[in-house]
Amino acid sequence: MALESPLASLSTMWGVQEQFKTDMGRFMNVASQLGFDAIEINHSMTSVQIKELQGNNSLPITAIHGPAPLKTHPGHGENRGLNLAALDDQERLMAVEDHVKSIKIASDVGAQQVVVHLGHVGTGLLPSERSLRLAYKKNTKSIPSDLNDAILLAQKERESQAPKHLESAKRSLATLTSEADKSGITLGIETRLHYHEIPLPDEYEILLSIYPESVVGYLHDVGHAEVQHRLGLINREAWWSVGKEFSPGKRLVGLHIHDVDGIQDHVSPGVGSVDFEWLRNQIIRHNPNASTTFEIDQRQSAKLVQEGLEVAKKKGIVS
């Protein structure tokens, strides 16, 4: 059984190519030719490129992936690298301001959602996760049992730093939900790729439960969740836990669809080995009307992108 309601959107992640660089309207036309119903504007797009997409208007825009547009803050680098959970309030407030701009753009272009990366703990990838990634690649796509210590170490490293960053994330989210509510926009708080990033499954409750579902919900990134599972850090079931009073899946508002080859995400469906039939069952159980965006890397060919859409249709992810 295929999911019937959501449009199949293509993220402008795939549009970060030389052929579209100065003509994002062409990207929209190609997306339509490949069979997509809509697009999602991601955080790689400049103000000029967003205006080109808005001016083309051949496909609807379903979501903005904050912080869009892409800009550089002197002394801080690109805004997509800023941390909404930063302990440095100057950095955190810059990140909030740029996401508020994304909410305004979403309202202006008629999008329903803004996708949010809610920040991270510490300053970067945990050494223990780096070790797990190297071990996975070395051991033919599996984690040896003797690396359980590395998994426990990752949990310890993160746990010791998390509380203060979660408080910062809460402050950022309070501002963003207020702005989203005024604009009639829903925020989708995304599953992240790395273990030091926020939120983990059990952190969604403390972040989202005080807000209405129409204002903020869970955006399930298929590839990110799968990579965390393959590294032994977070079981893929944890995002969809049944029987719990609160789980991220119960607040599902959207999906980022892509496949995973080993631990390489953002490949076209069919290139990797994600169990899309299992995923379809989770979506049907939690919210068959959740928005669906194909977030596929720009290095994937147009042929693979088109084939990926067909794979997703055959697996019942989109109709």
Q: What is the second-level CATH architecture of the domain 8-124+168-314?
A: Alpha-Beta Barrel (3.20)
Which is higher by pLDDT, 296 or 4? 296
**Structure tokens of 277?**
């039939």
What confidence tens digit (pLDDT) does each residue in 25-68 have? 999 999 999 999 999 999 999 999 999 999 998 999 999 999 99
Q: Looking at residues 129-156, what average pLDDT do you find?
A: 81
Q: What is the pTM of this model?
A: 0.95
Find the range with the poorest average confidence among 51-55, 148-152, 212-216, 280-284: 148-152
* Mean pLDDT of all residues in 176-195: 98
Give me the pLDDT at residue 171, please.
98
Average pLDDT over residues 279-308: 97
**Structure confidence at residue 150 (pLDDT):** 85
Cα–Cα–Cα angle for 180, 182, 187, rounded to 5 degrees: 15
* The pLDDT value given to residue 140: 62
Tell me what the pLDDT averaged over the chain comes to.
94
136 pLDDT more than 90? no
Tell me, what's the pLDDT at 1?
47
Report the pLDDT value the prediction gives residue 4, as an integer from 0 to 100. 53
21 phi, psi to nearest 5 deg: -50, -45
Question: Which residues have a Cβ under 8 Å from the Cβ of 193 and sit 6 or more positions away?
Answer: 221, 223, 224, 227, 228, 265
- Could you tell me what percent of the chain has a pLDDT over 90? 87
Question: What region, left, alpha or beta, does residue 256 occupy, with left being phi > 0 and alpha being psi -120 to 50 degrees?
Answer: beta
> Chain centroid to CA 220: how far?
7
Containing 170, the helix (H) or strand (E) segment is helix 148-183
**What does the pLDDT read at residue 242?**
62
CA dihedral defined by 105, 28, 45, 99, rounded to 10 degrees?
Answer: 30
Tell me how far the alpha carbon of residue 312 is from its chain's centroid: 18
Tens digits of residue pLDDT in 146-170: 678 889 999 999 998 999 999 999 9
